[in-house]
Amino acid sequence: MNYQEAYKKLEKYGQLHVLKYYEELAAEEREALLSQIEQTDFDMLSLCKKRETLNPRGKIEPIAVMELPQIEEKREAYTEIGVEAVRAGKVGAVLLAGGMGTRLGSDAPKGVYNIGLTKDVFIFQRLVENLMDVVNQAGAWIPLYVMTSEKNHDATVRFFEEKKYFGYSADYVTFFMQDMAPASDYEGKVYMEAKHKMSTSPNGSGGWFLSMIKWGVAEKMRQAGVEWLNVFAVDNVLQRIADPCFVGATIATGSAVGAKVVAKNAPDEKVGAMCLEDGRPSIVEYYDMTPELMAAKTEEGKPAYDFGVILNYLFRVKDLEEIVARQLPLHIVEKKIPYLDATGELVKPEEPNGYKFEQLVLDMIHELDSCLPFEVVRNREFAPIKNKTGIDSVESARELCRENGILL
């Protein structure tokens, strides 16, 4: 794209400020900026004006959850099916580690955060150790696909190499990068993070399978015979990954996807609740939980939306291939976005100052015909690290690790 074409495109979207420093840029910086303008979808920025009405919800109803007593009854049989699938190389794991982890307040990838007290215990290390339990149980390596973004790719790969993959087989670890999306102020004007670069942020957790295809990782996975992908978040240091009982239950019930859920600790807890939406499996986000939904009861008198998702899903690959072309809803999220101020200085704001544009993995559930919500014991499997202190923090996760006998 040349300067005139870039100018025209920006003019159309009211974003001409992007060229403010063009005259003073070096040749390669000009080229980088023009290429970024060419690749950027500015259409999505204007959607922030309709943020409130962007994703209307359908009719929400309760969904049947496989609760702990039901699981206990069949634990052995499910586990056997799951172990068999792992042993046959049919199960892969996808670590979503492309997020910025802004709430934790570190510029490094979240997974390199050290939660140890008397020794090093990195978040990535905890996850690999959890996965190793299943590798040892099944006697087979599980392919691990790690999604990064351009903001943390090099640092993530370097860290795994430096730490010798925490004992995992490097042959079974593949990195791939997600795409970026522009980040804007509240009016939808894209921020600049350098004179030759618009501010961008990773485009959310929802694009992971598309990115696997784009990077040729999906093809490699298919050739390896993987039929199920356990997608999980970087920040839950207690979660079981490729958990044979969960894998077995999802397979045995013929579900297109399994979703690990925990009993919510309060009706207004900030986790998405499993539900049916217009008759299809779905997740209602905590900010969409109306007082009516919070108060709703099942026929047995239990809270109707009592199970929250923990971002640990088991997707059937053949279904992913079918839904991949469909457009997922766009979520416009308020965040802290580094930007160049009027004098051209980079500012790292202390408070949210604009929007990021994201697609979310939880919206993939609604695209599928069937889902098995699978309950796990909350204090054993849910220790998310979002913040440094308080709820869902390094502190609370340390406490839960201690409760589970993990030495820190």
* Short-list 255, 223, 236, 227, CA closest to 127: 236
Q: Which position's Cβ is nearest ligand UTP?
A: 99
Among 204, 272, 281, 303, the residue binding ligand UTP under the rule CB under 6 A is: 204
x-or-dash string of contact with ligand UTP, 234-253, rule CB under 6 A: xx------------------
How is 363-381 classified by DSSP, letter by letter?
A: HHHTTSS-EEEEE--HHHH
- Closest contact distance (angstroms) between CB of 49 and ligand UTP is 22
Query: Do residues 40 and 198 make contact, with C-beta atoms less than 8 angstroms apart?
Result: yes
- Closest contact distance (angstroms) between CB of 324 and ligand UTP is 17
* Residue 212 contacts ligand UTP per CB under 6 A: no
* Residue 93 contacts ligand UTP per CB under 6 A: no
User: CA–CA distance from 44 to each of 53, 277, 324, 357 (Å)?
Assistant: 14, 25, 19, 8
x-or-dash string of contact with ligand UTP, 320-359, rule CB under 6 A: --------------------------------------x-
x-or-dash string of contact with ligand UTP, 299-318, rule CB under 6 A: ------------x-------
Phi and psi dihedrals of 236, rounded to 5?
Answer: -95, 100
- Closest contact distance (angstroms) between CB of 358 and ligand UTP is 6
* Residue 98 contacts ligand UTP per CB under 6 A: yes
Bridge partners of 93? Answer: 144, 230
Residue span binding ligand UTP (CB under 6 A) among the ranges 199-207, 256-264, 323-331, 389-397: 199-207
Cβ neighbours around 332 below 10 Å, total: 21
How is 75-119 classified by DSSP, letter by letter?
A: HHHHHHHHHHHHHTT-EEEEEE--S--GGGT-SS-GGG-B--SSS
- Closest contact distance (angstroms) between CB of 90 and ligand UTP is 24
* Residue 96 contacts ligand UTP per CB under 6 A: yes
Nearer CB in complex with ligand UTP: 98/373? 98
CA distance 344 to 73: 64
Does an H or E element contain 276, and which? strand 273-277
Alpha-carbon dihedral 122, 124, 130, 132, rounded to 10 degrees: -110
Among 7, 14, 70, 102, the residue binding ligand UTP under the rule CB under 6 A is: 102
Among 30, 126, 264, 386, the residue binding ligand UTP under the rule CB under 6 A is: 386
Backbone region of residue 61 per phi and psi (left: phi > 0; alpha: psi in -120 to 50; beta: other values): beta
* Residue 128 contacts ligand UTP per CB under 6 A: no
* Residue 373 contacts ligand UTP per CB under 6 A: no
Task: Kindly identify the residues of this chain, within the stretch 145-164, that bind ligand UTP according to CB under 6 A.
Answer: 147
- Closest contact distance (angstroms) between CB of 152 and ligand UTP is 9
Angle at 133 between CA 135 and CA 383, to 5 degrees: 130
- Closest contact distance (angstroms) between CB of 62 and ligand UTP is 25
Alpha-carbon dihedral 242, 66, 74, 262, rounded to 10 degrees: 50
Among 82, 92, 99, 373, the residue binding ligand UTP under the rule CB under 6 A is: 99
Q: Which two tokens stand for residue 174?
A: 């593949």
- Closest contact distance (angstroms) between CB of 73 and ligand UTP is 32
Binding site for ligand UTP (CB under 6 A): 96-103, 147, 178, 202-205, 233-235, 311, 358, 386
